[in-house]
Amino acid sequence: MHVTIHIVEDDPGVGDALSLLLQQLGHETIVYADAEAFFRHTPPVDGDTVIVDLCLPGMPGMQVIRWLKSLNLQLKIIAISGQPQASIRRMLQGETPDILLRKPLREEALTKYL
């Protein structure tokens, strides 16, 4: 099933590569360099997928995830991070995202959840 995937990722290389691959898989993608850019955009709708890097400049990724959950939409939320485990634990602040993938990301790891 092809969906719209929002990618909130500050590393331009990762954002672009992720978007390109997901497009190859037939999905529609939008890349945002930070949480603020994502908020300025039209919010996601039921059935969308959102990939959020936990470590973002400005507003942290976990806050984006919290906001998305508060929307009560049918969204698939995937958190990604290249940080060490201890930093991830700090960023999560006791919460657990539904899906957490650690970088380096692989196609198979991603497609499993799409």
Partner 1 sequence: MPDSYTDSLAMTASVSKARLLSVLDTAVDGIVIMDESARIILYNKACEALFGYQSEEVRGKNVKILMPESYAREHDGYVRSYIDTGVRRIIGIGREVKARHRDGTEFPIELSVGEAQTPEGRQFIGIMRDIRQRKLVEERLSKAQAQLVSMARINALDEMGAAIAHELNQPLTAIMLYLQAIKRKSEGVVGLEGVLIDVIDKGVKEAERASQIIQRMRQFVEKREPERKPVDVPTLLRECVDLVTLGKMGEGVLLSLEVGEDMPELNADPVQIQQIVVNLIRNAMDAVKGCQKKAVDIRAWHDEEAISIAVSDSGPGVPQENLANLFKAFSGSKRSGLGLGLAISKSLAQNHGGDLAVDPVGPSGGATFTLKLPIDEPSAAGE
Closer to partner 1 by CB, 41 or 103: give it.
103
13 binds partner 1 (CB under 8 A): yes
| 98 token code pair | 């539904």
Closer to partner 1 by CB, 73 or 100: give it.
100
Which residues 76-95 are close enough to bind partner 1 by CB under 8 A?
Answer: 82-87, 89-90
41 binds partner 1 (CB under 8 A): no
Cβ atoms 106, 20 nearer than 8 A: no
Residues sharing a CB contact under 8 Å with residue 33, sequence separation 6 or more, in sequence order? 9, 10, 12, 15
